[in-house]
Amino acid sequence: MSISAVMPTYARTDLVFERGQGAMMYTADGRSFLDFGAGVAVNALGHAHPHLVAALKAQAEKLWHTSNLYRVAGQEKLAERLVANSFADSVFFCNSGAEAMEGVVKMARRYHQAQGEANKYRVITARNAFHGRTLAMISAGGQEKHLDGFAPNVDGFDHVAFGNLNETRAAITPQTAAVVVEPIQGEGGILPGDLEYMKGLRAMADEFGLLLIFDEVQTGMGRTGKLFAYEWSDITPDAMAVAKGLGGGFPVGACLVTEAVAKVMKPGTHGSTFGGNPLAMAAANAVMDVVLEPGFLPHVRMIADYLWPKLTAVVAKHPKVFELVRGKGLMIGLKCKVPNTEVIARFIDHGLLTVGAADNTVRLLPPLIITEAEVDAAIGIIDRAAASLAP
Ligand SMILES: *Cc1c(COP(=O)(O)O)cnc(C)c1O
């Protein structure tokens, strides 16, 4: 047989990691790496964080799973904390980003249908977006490379240019239920939407009676220096999907919505077998314990302020390798002039893990707990790797 037992859906780097500690990862054969990918923005507190390890161990010895046939104390605790620290009034728990996005899109349809407007089901999304890999979410993202071979596309998504308010307004019809955006496009290449765009979308949603939905699967949980990226603007969405950093490495997602949306979701309207199980809630509540400590988010902003000028300088020093740096907080994109795959491979040669993105970008998504010394080490590697790459 020539097919690998693990289905070949990824172009994997030939590294097998055995353990991690803080911002470091180690292979079985003794190589060590500074982790500026954090499992694609998932390991928000790095690896083997003592508080997370203790919380998960303690829960593992008590109860893993009960189903949602019963109350789950960890869900009640986490939901109350998410509600207390966001625009949301109510939270649904699931297992991944795609599921969280599917959930909020389902809720947007039901919100309008509960008001007798069955024709309002279409959702405006941005081009170059990424909302996950389910059938509906590849249609929401609308990217040819994700849709290829999976036709017919799921109906109900209309695509407009990211950042373009005029195009968004022109796409609104009597069938439009919601507008969905990532505050900063992640897989698309770390492209931040500006504050005027956010405000404009909010005003437009209000004017036409649409729900404004943010995909904060990547931007959320402190990644940009605020708990959620929408907090940098003075507007709030009606619904939001969160996942990645939420469990610090344990698979968990959440739909955060206002009361107006949540009240159409009666018993039986949506569900998940695993969603919000005690093990996942122990992990996510432990992440919350740390992220909500008074000094934590200020540390993220402080370390980002330390990193950005150094990174900007190293990018300017290698104009044949890098074009520019963009992003917010610790969600950073290096747009490259040489193929980003070569840059990522050279970073690995020098001991730094990063993540690719569209638009020939390399993503730097370090754990939020990184230190100044680790930033210095990463900048040194980026400098040396770039010098070795210069044509
Ligand atoms: C990663 C990501 C998703 C999909 O999350 P999965 O957990 O892989 O399903 C959705 N939206 C955004 C913005 C993401 O970055």
CA of 213 to the centre of ligand 1 (A): 14
The reply to whether ligand 1 has any atom less than 6 angstroms from the CB of 218 is yes
| pLDDT interval class at 246 (50, 70, 90) | very high
User: Where in the chain are the domains?
Assistant: 17-49+294-389, 63-291
Longest dimension (CA), the chain: 63
Question: What is the pLDDT at residue 162?
Answer: 98
- Measured in Å, residue 168 CA sits from the centre of ligand 1 at 23
**Token pair 């690998």 is at which residue?**
4
Q: Does residue 389 have its Cβ closer than 6 Å to ligand 1? A: no
Known active-site residue 130: yes
Q: Which residues contact 80 (CB under 8 A, 6 or more apart)?
A: none
Active site residue 305: no
17-49+294-389: in CATH 3.90.1150.10: yes
Mean model confidence pLDDT for the chain: 98
Q: Domain 63-291's class?
A: alpha beta
Q: Mean pLDDT across the stretch 43-71?
A: 98
pLDDT at 167 over 90: yes
Answer whether 186 contacts ligand 1 (Cβ < 6 A).
yes
> Cβ distance 315 to 285 under 8 Å?
no
pTM above 0.95? yes
Q: Rounded to the nearest 10 degrees, how much is the dihedral formed by the CA atoms of 382, 385, 388, 391? A: -60
Asked if 343 and 321 touch (Cβ cutoff 8 Å), the reply is yes
Q: What angle do CA 241, 246, 250 make, to 5 degrees?
A: 120
Q: Which of these is catalytic: 93, 130, 214, 322?
A: 130
371 CA to centre of ligand 1 in angstroms = 27
The rounded Å distance from CA 218 to ligand 1 centre is 7
Q: Give me the catalytic one of 244, 328, 335, 347.
A: 244
Give me the pLDDT at residue 243, please: 98
The verdict on whether 244 is a catalytic residue reads yes
Question: What Cα–Cα distance (Å) separates residue 364 from each residue in 68, 221, 331?
Answer: 37, 16, 6
